[in-house]
């Protein structure tokens, strides 16, 4: 996993909890990196699992909830640090349809040794968008948070449904993004 993700996670902990909490979870985790992450470095995914588990133990917030919160936070950060990939789009659907074939393809060029998920999409006749998330890292909660952050950024009223399909070699989740109809008054 890229250092940028670790650095953003630690900054979320510092901002949303405290600097002391961030220090404590780093000390409690058995990290080969010792918590010193560079943006373009690559670190074992297990270090993120350890950090999140210690944060969960300390805060009594479940690991899935923390991963979702982090996804939300990271999308907001992407609108600043990777604005180029976001500002030209008019809607969440426009961006999400380009996630697999364009945005994450560019991410692979920008950062070496990336481990990215796949996000196939299908458009439904009823106006909803289906995204099929596949990854060996099984970070569907994190993906959900990123999707929520994306929808919030474009200020859409949208329902996000998720169906998880466990597989032997990773996970597979089907997200349905359904625009909410405006109420007639």
Binding site for ligand HEM (CB under 6 A): 1-2, 4-5, 75, 78, 82, 85-86, 96, 99, 103-104, 107, 111, 114-117, 135, 137, 139, 142-143, 146-147, 150
State how far the Cα of 29 lies from the Cα of 66, in Å rounded to an integer: 17
- Give φ, ψ of 46 to 5 degrees: -60, -25
Give 7 or 58: the residue with its C-beta nearer to ligand HEM: 7
Give 37 or 142: the residue with its C-beta nearer to ligand HEM: 142
Give the nearest distance from C-beta 150 to ligand HEM in angstroms: 4
Beta bridge partners of 26: none
Sign of CA dihedral 37, 40, 43, 45: positive
Collapsed DSSP state (helix, strand, coil) of residue 87: coil
Beta bridge partners of 160: 177
Give the nearest distance from C-beta 21 to ligand HEM in angstroms: 23
Give the nearest distance from C-beta 178 to ligand HEM in angstroms: 16
Say which residue the tokens 């074939």 belong to: 101
Give the nearest distance from C-beta 11 to ligand HEM in angstroms: 15
């Amino acid at each position: 996993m890229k250092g940028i993700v670790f650095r953003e996670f630690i900054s979320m902990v510092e901002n949303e909890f405290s600097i002391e909490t961030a220090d404590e979870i780093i000390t409690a985790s058995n990290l080969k990196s010792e918590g010193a992450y560079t943006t373009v470095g690559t670190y074992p995914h297990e270090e993120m699992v350890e950090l999140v588990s210690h944060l969960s133990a300390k805060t009594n917030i479940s690991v899935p909830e923390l991963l979702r919160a982090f996804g939300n936070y990271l999308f907001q950060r992407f609108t600043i640090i990777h604005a180029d990939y976001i500002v030209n789009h008019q809607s969440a659907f426009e961006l999400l349809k380009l996630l697999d074939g364009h945005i994450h393809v560019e991410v692979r060029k920008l950062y070496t040794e990336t481990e990215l998920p796949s996000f196939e999409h299908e458009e439904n006749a009823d106006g909803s968008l289906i995204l099929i998330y596949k990854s060996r890292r099984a970070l569907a909660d994190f993906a959900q948070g990123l999707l929520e952050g994306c929808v919030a950024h474009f200020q859409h009223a949208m329902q996000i449904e998720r169906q998880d399909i466990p597989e032997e070699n990773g996970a597979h989740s089907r997200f349905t993004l359904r625009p909410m109809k405006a109420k007639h008054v």
